[in-house]
Amino acid sequence: MWVRDQAMDVNGCDPWLKEYVDFSKCFLIGSSAGGNMVFHAALRALDIDTSPVKIIGLIMNQPYFSGVERTESEKRFVNDRILPLPANDLMWSLALPKGADRDHEFCNPMTADGFLKEKMGRLTRCLVTGHGGDPLIDKQRELVKVLEARGVDVVAEFAEGGCHGIEIFDPLKAEALLKSIKEFVDTCCRCVNYEPAAAKSTL
């Protein structure tokens, strides 16, 4: 909503945004819990008039989802050095509404009711990335399948090995992630007849 107000010049638009940003070609991007936030923020934005801001892509890097039923990857990496299962359980117990379990839609939207799944089908194009050494990889793959089943255009990039947040520790993985994001952004912009201009960039 802040970006929308900037685009509408409510109380004055930031000069940098006014000069360089094309508000009709915006993206939501987040890693780990941020990827979960991107997903839910995009769902909420479907019911809000954000014009002239237009969200044309969602970028979820290793999005953080779980569920009551243990996935094979969670069981396989129960003592993972980055995200051990007890820590994962603790974080969800602190984050979810009182009395909710890990099948709450904030944690496990893949078990959501028909209304939420219908909304998922209205989401814009998504990039979902993950690594085989991440305890959350099975849930990330499940998210891709649910989105694709609802007709969402999903670019899924899952690499072997690695760990949760690998790009923080490995410069080559960070470089690969940035390349994937750049290609995704470029493709989304071309799909909406984007013509690059020297004084424009995406937000």
pLDDT number for residue 193? 61
Q: pLDDT, tens digit, for every residue of 54-80?
A: 999 999 999 999 999 999 999 999 999
**Residue 125 confidence (pLDDT):** 97
- Of 73, 131, 138, 164, the catalytic one is 164
- The top-level CATH class assigned to 2-191 is alpha beta
Concerning whether 134 is annotated as a catalytic residue, the answer is: yes
Q: Catalytic annotation on 31?
A: no
Quote the CA–CA distance of 108 and 112 in Å, as a whole number. 7
Assign 181 to helix, strand or coil.
helix
pLDDT in tens, 26-51: 999 999 999 999 999 999 999 999 99
Given a cut of 80, is residue 6 above it in pLDDT? yes
Return left, alpha or beta for 62; rule: phi > 0 is left, psi -120 to 50 is alpha, else beta: left
Instruction: Single out the catalytic residue among 31, 73, 134, 138.
Output: 134
15 close to 46: Cβ distance less than 8 angstroms: no
Q: Is 40 a catalytic residue?
A: no
pLDDT in tens, 138-181: 999 999 999 999 999 999 999 999 999 999 999 999 999 999 99
What's this model's pTM, rounded to 2 decimal places? 0.90
Q: Which of 31, 32, 66, 73 is catalytic?
A: 32
pLDDT band at 196 (very low <50, low <70, confident <90, very high): very low
